[in-house]
Structure 1
């Protein structure tokens, strides 16, 4: 199965394309505002408003052999702990080996932003190369998840 943390996810179409090719059930999880897909393999899950409700829904279900697509680092950590394979939207794999450093960097950056309210920045925009890198990474990850 593939779980997508769909709020602000730029690669939903790519997930559906790869998931359909591999005949995998996909859950597109959000607080709403996502157009449902007609694809029978895609289930659109709308959770109630509230902090981390979509994240909790995914973390409670994703397990060994599942693939999770998210940019949310604490959610990624929970899913990795449960045995799921996790990819960020740019194709970067989050694993047991790197999640500790990624969490620490996230916390450090949050502290820096809190200390300097003028420090803004949403990072660079999502580019065509990011989409291509994501597609390649998702294909490899889905194949790895299918191995016993």
Structure 2
């Protein structure tokens, strides 16, 4: 036999021994309980009481699960509201900062446009002045007929 086959056989034997031991223990327990009911004063438990207790327990478990679910839902709702509030504040702050930046940029562009306009106006006046002077000189230099 190979090592793998030996290991498999060993595991199978141990499993068989464990199952045999468990069945033997279960059988001994059942015989012991049955022996207790064989006495003349003992009676079998009332099945109706057992059913009531089982469903009472199941109801308690279900009630606890409902309370837990409601607690989780409330916490989730509160967290969502908190996040929504924080997002609204962040959005408001970002909008305000953007508006201030846009206003500052508009003021800067307006000032630069005015300065450029004044510069162009001065340059135009200079050109007009030079053109007028040149026209005047040309008129004086031109012989009259």
The TM-score range, normalised by the shorter chain, is under 0.3
Q: How high is the TM-score relative to the length of structure 1?
A: 0.20
**Higher helix proportion (structure 1 or 2):** 2
Greater fraction strand = 1
**Per chain length, whose mean CA-contact separation is higher, i.e. which structure has more relative contact order (CA < 8 Å, sep 6+)?**
1
